[in-house]
Structure 1
Amino acid sequence: MEGDVTEASTIDRETAASEPSPPPTVPFPKLAQGIAFVASRRWTTRQLAKQYGKIYTINIPKYGRTVIVGDPDLARQVFSTSTEALGNIQPNLSQVLGSGSVFGLERKEHRHRRKLLAPKFHGKAMVQYEQIIEEETLRECASWPEGQQFEIMEPMMRITLNAILRAVFGADGAELDQLRKLIPPWVVLASAVTRFPQPKRIYGRFSPWGQLETKRKHYDKVINVLIDRALAATDFEDRTDILALLLRSTYDDGTSMSRSDVGDELLTLLAAGHETTATTLAWALERISRHPRILTRLVEEAQTEHNEYRQATILEVQRSRPVIDFAGRHVFAPYVDIGDYRIPHGWTVLVSVSLMQDDPTAFPDPERFDPDRFADTKPGNSWVPYGGGTRRCVGAAFANMEMDVVLRTILRHFTIETTNAPDEKWHSRGVASCPKDNGLATVYRRT
């Protein structure tokens, strides 16, 4: 009997030893790792990857034990794993966008919401928005100074916010003016506070969380007025703006989105959608002003109806200057196996966009800005600026169309002065990263 127990114990130890273990762990103190991660995620993940490889474990405040993934095959596993086992990162942007946002939903509810939203941002639904985007670009460009260097970031923010406001609500008015004033400072504040764990209380109305709450109440008040106005409109059934489409949409069981969920989704579109697109456009101007040959080809193409090289340039901007540098997941299952490693319940998985898109095996000489990488081929598995899997950005096609139209309009109406200035450095705005000098540019109107 004693021999049987000894043999069983030996088998248990051998089985445990053969089971996959978590990826190698960075040994530095948790606080030190957290400070480095908040200060510069991109630099920190790249430096650690040099020592620990394309998958490793860090321990940071807010997310705890976190596995960084920089390998495309492993990332594909992450994105294809069942949402029952590997769900949205916790905590996520729902802490500022609302629990009814697509960022806050899980499993079946998330799948149903994506199915409801996706048709609004694809195919014929987007054609009607191109003229709006061109009009907003021309309206903003009318005040640009000639021959004088200025920051392009804020003008791009205004273009994308005004365009999406018109696309979402289909009209102008006092309420939209309020949103124009409310959304930009809200985005800056929300991006800043998401770096840190959410407190159990807001510590008064003058604290960052208190200010967010005040702004959110103001936003809800404006949105409720716009929803009431849309529902009462005589042409409600014929309207093609996103607000009307959401209010008319129903799930497979015949139910519709609640008023609060509509508000959360619209805030997601207005806040997350306009900032990331505008930042990519600022990076695009920063990049092409430093590459005369590329700029010349873009200008020549802009005089035609073609956009192949412009599209390739946008893809290369997103590869070399990704605005969002990670896609996060949370382990809900007892464990998840990724490659040769086992990741326990409760851990976080972050797919590093920068590590994958700076990989020389996927993109030779990755520091070189070269749109020809995408001239005759579609992006592969290593190109993931919109994330991947069921949580890939639902507005990706809209964002791509918007960037294409804005760049085409600028190139047709302005000469962009090239520069030998050093590349602008990265600056973290919290969730997103932008050019440190906000994309300095000098332009002249074409006659």
Structure 2
Amino acid sequence: MAKATTDPVKLPPGPRLPKLLQGAAFLTAPYTLPAMLARRYGGAVSMRMPVFGQTVVVTDPALVKDLFSTGNDLIERPTNLGRVVGPGSMWSLNGKALIERRKLLVPPFHGKRVSEYERIVEEEVMREIATWPEGQEFETLNSMMRITLNVILRTVFGAQGSELDELREVMPSSVELGSRLAMLPDVVLRDLGAWSPGGRILRYRRRIDAVTQKLMADARSDPAFDERSDILTLLLAARYEDGQPISDSHITDELVTLMAAGHETTSLSLAWAVERLRRHPNLLERLVAEVDAGGSELRQATIWEVQRTRPVVNATMRRTLQRIRLGDWVIPEGSTLLISIELAQHAPDQFTDPEAFNPDRYAEIGKLPPAWVAFGGGIYRCIGSAFATMEMDVALRTMLRELRFEPTTAPAERRHSRGTNMAPEKGGRAVVYRRSGTSLGDARTRSVSTLGDRH
């Protein structure tokens, strides 16, 4: 882990371009620029950028691991995202306050509780794929967005009826706009009128707050309160060690955070899974056989490999609270640490043939390697990782059971930035046929193994 030091500052090498040019280059190429810099300068690179200031881009898996294991007395997560979702969000908390909040938020997303939500995920997948056209190419991302949106609204908010409809309408626009604004200066979030970004975010939030207040009142008045399993109810019942509840405003901030963290990210991962599997027909064929046999190991490995090769959040940030030693470098207080998840997960000394899409690599080592950090690490690791993994597993299992995906020889879809998240440029396009129907035509008899697997 990184350690506090009084040694003289010793920053890693980096480009000498003006600050504005470095910032513009990073915004234009958030994936390719760090990769290029890592090839030239190594696993830690110094940059100077607007908003972020003195920045060290970290791609070396060993240094990434050190940062994730460093205490929050030395580094903390910047609260850029917290500005959008509210002061009561775990994205706005650091130190002791964050630790206390995590103790209340982690249990609902792990263990038996998560398995209880599998039925809801399967219901939403079945409802959505019933609308998919057969035999013609279409973009899956919008469908994945609807699936994960409905899952979260039902499992997290406990919403139904008119409240469900209202949140279905307002949440996607709010999350997408917030994602794009999160890394921009505070001035962008000011309410400068109905058409300003800050004004739009405020209007969305007022609608969300009104619905959430109604849902909380309904939950409190429900005679079966103790039997409810939605996250909203569990947060209402949660108590800190001193017996105090989470305030209603903070619960609302947390619910919006869980929506922002779990809706778009999981849907993008599912779209990437479709994009990857259509280009690896032999693997696709094996996954279908595994589903038919009732297995899951290869599917789980495939999910890990999607998240390794196409992480939706390809980087995360920390800020130094003190001068620290990180490897060979001494980084001053107030510096931004930009941790490249994607490049750490492509390190050739950690992953054999890292550019290849190969789920079998996990069977060879029997576990996830330490350099696999798709959900982050340390105190800031995503609390919904088990929920997201379950959701992807059930969604893929259901789609593979019900549908036959037609392979493709088309080039891989490029990464497209949606603010803080990376999407397949063409939306994870697919061609499907019903496995149980009679309309599969010639495509059903076509052997997927006649196509060569592609990276």
Tell me the TM-score normalised to structure 2 length: 0.92
SS at match of 1:41: coil
SS at match of 1:103: helix
Aligned pairs (5 A) from 1:9-48: 19=8, 21-48=10-37
Aligned pairs (5 A) from 1:150-169: 150-169=138-157
Question: Is 1:230–2:219 an aligned residue pair?
Answer: yes
Which residue identity is paired with 2:387? F
Aligned pairs (5 A) from 1:181-260: 181-199=169-187, 201-260=190-249
Deviation at 1:117, TM superposition (A): 0.6
Tell which structure's C-alpha radius of gyration is larger: 1
SS at match of 1:375: helix
**More displaced stretch, 31-40 vs 101-110:** 31-40
The aligned residue for residue 275 of structure 2 is 286
The aligned residue for residue 72 of structure 1 is 61
CA contact (8 A) 2:269 2:312 kept: yes
Change (3 A) 1:239 1:255: same
Structure 2: stretches of 5+ with no match in the other structure:
437-455
**Counterpart Cα distance in 2 of 1:47 and 1:406:** 35
SS at match of 1:398: helix
Deviation at 1:51, TM superposition (A): 1.1
Deviation at 1:205, TM superposition (A): 2.2
The aligned residue for residue 129 of structure 1 is 117
The aligned residue for residue 4 of structure 1 is none
Question: Is 1:341–2:323 an aligned residue pair?
Answer: no
Which residue identity is paired with 2:354? P
Choose from 107, 117, 124 the match for 2:95: 107
Tell me the TM-score normalised to structure 1 length: 0.94
**Counterpart Cα distance in 2 of 1:432 and 1:250:** 33
The aligned residue for residue 295 of structure 2 is 306
**More displaced stretch, 396-405 vs 95-104:** 95-104
Structure 1: stretches of 5+ with no match in the other structure:
1-14
The aligned residue for residue 396 of structure 2 is 407
Deviation at 1:271, TM superposition (A): 2.0
SS at match of 2:186: coil
Per-residue deviation, residues 342-378 of structure 1 (Å, max 9, x unmatched): 1111111111111111111111222211111112422
SS at match of 2:102: helix
SS at match of 1:160: helix
Per-residue deviation, residues 294-324 of structure 1 (Å, max 9, x unmatched): 0001100111322100000000100110100
**Counterpart Cα distance in 2 of 1:329 and 1:341:** 16
**Counterpart Cα distance in 1 of 2:86 and 2:28:** 26
Which residue identity is paired with 1:384? V
The aligned residue for residue 7 of structure 1 is none
The aligned residue for residue 339 of structure 2 is 351
**Counterpart Cα distance in 1 of 2:347 and 2:129:** 37
Choose from 420, 438, 442 the match for 2:427: 438
Identity between Structure 1 and Structure 2 (%): 48
The aligned residue for residue 9 of structure 1 is none
CA contact (8 A) 2:291 2:397 kept: yes
Deviation at 1:198, TM superposition (A): 1.9
**Counterpart Cα distance in 2 of 1:59 and 1:378:** 38
SS at match of 2:90: coil
CA contact (8 A) 1:20 1:340 kept: no
SS at match of 1:434: strand
The aligned residue for residue 383 of structure 1 is 372
The aligned residue for residue 421 of structure 1 is 410
SS at match of 1:68: strand
**Counterpart Cα distance in 1 of 2:252 and 2:91:** 13
SS at match of 1:327: strand
Question: Is 1:267–2:287 an aligned residue pair?
Answer: no
Deviation at 1:171, TM superposition (A): 4.7
CA contact (8 A) 2:159 2:215 kept: no
- In the TM superposition, structure 1's runs of 4+ consecutive aligned residues that sit over 3 Å from their partners are none
**Counterpart Cα distance in 2 of 1:210 and 1:70:** 37
Per-residue deviation, residues 152-199 of structure 1 (Å, max 9, x unmatched): 001001001101111113351101110011111112211221242121
The aligned residue for residue 385 of structure 2 is 396
Aligned pairs (5 A) from 1:81-96: 81-89=70-78, 91-96=79-84
Question: Is 1:177–2:171 an aligned residue pair?
Answer: no
**Counterpart Cα distance in 2 of 1:168 and 1:150:** 29
Per-residue deviation, residues 56-93 of structure 1 (Å, max 9, x unmatched): 1111112111111111211111111110110112x421
Number of residue pairs aligned between Structure 1 and Structure 2: 430
SS at match of 2:236: helix
Per-residue deviation, residues 21-56 of structure 1 (Å, max 9, x unmatched): 122232111111111111221111001111111101
Question: Is 1:149–2:137 an aligned residue pair?
Answer: yes
Which residue identity is paired with 2:120? I
**Counterpart Cα distance in 2 of 1:202 and 1:25:** 38
Per-residue deviation, residues 215-247 of structure 1 (Å, max 9, x unmatched): 111111111111111111111122111111000
SS at match of 2:156: helix
**Counterpart Cα distance in 2 of 1:202 and 1:45:** 34
CA RMSD of aligned residues (A): 1.4
The aligned residue for residue 108 of structure 2 is 120
**Counterpart Cα distance in 2 of 1:231 and 1:258:** 14
**Counterpart Cα distance in 2 of 1:388 and 1:26:** 28
**Counterpart Cα distance in 1 of 2:186 and 2:314:** 21
Which residue identity is paired with 2:119? Q
Per-residue deviation, residues 240-299 of structure 1 (Å, max 9, x unmatched): 111110000101111110001100110111122110000000000000001110000110
Aligned pairs (5 A) from 1:40-59: 40-59=29-48
SS at match of 1:303: helix
**Counterpart Cα distance in 2 of 1:230 and 1:211:** 29
The aligned residue for residue 296 of structure 1 is 285
**More displaced stretch, 292-301 vs 204-213:** 204-213
SS at match of 2:55: strand
Deviation at 1:400, TM superposition (A): 0.3
SS at match of 2:56: strand
Deviation at 1:325, TM superposition (A): 0.8
